[in-house]
């Protein structure tokens, strides 16, 4: 999608601080972190939200959720972390490309 900021990040048009990348998924640090560590995982396939996922998306959803604890540990979150998927405007979603937030550690002062 040409107007999707995450698709622009995937295309290399907008830089990001990458945590992980493979053929299906990109993980990068959030530019407005809520905690000491805050990154998100996005599928390379554009899917608007969790509500728009279909059975064909099951594997990528599982992959993202299984990557979350591995990457959280690599980012120093040894004592636990939170995951969050905002879905739709009413669910607080601001970027309409499916993404899983992973965050933990100290809360930042602006919270």
Query: Degrees (nearest 5) of the Cα angle 75, 81, 86?
Result: 110
Q: Which of 32, 99, 101, 110 is catalytic?
A: 99
Number of helices followed by number of strands (H, E) in the chain:
2, 5
Please name the residues in contact with 68: beta carbons below 8 A apart, sequence gap of 6 or more: 41, 81, 83, 100, 102
Query: What distance in Å separates the CA atoms of residue 103 and residue 57, rounded to the nearest whole number?
Result: 24
> Is 46 annotated in the active site?
no
Catalytic site positions? 99
């Amino acid at each position: 999608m040409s107007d999707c900021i995450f698709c622009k990040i995937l295309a290399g048009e907008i830089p990001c601080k990458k945590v992980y990348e493979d053929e299906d998924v990109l993980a990068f640090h959030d530019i407005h972190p809520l905690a000491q560590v805050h990154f998100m995982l996005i599928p390379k396939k554009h899917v608007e939200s969790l509500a728009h996922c279909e059975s064909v998306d099951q594997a990528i959803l599982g992959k993202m959720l299984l990557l979350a604890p591995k990457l959280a540990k690599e980012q120093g979150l040894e004592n636990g972390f939170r995951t969050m998927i905002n879905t739709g405007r009413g669910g607080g979603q601001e970027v309409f490309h499916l993404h899983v937030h992973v965050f933990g550690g100290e809360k930042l002062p602006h919270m």
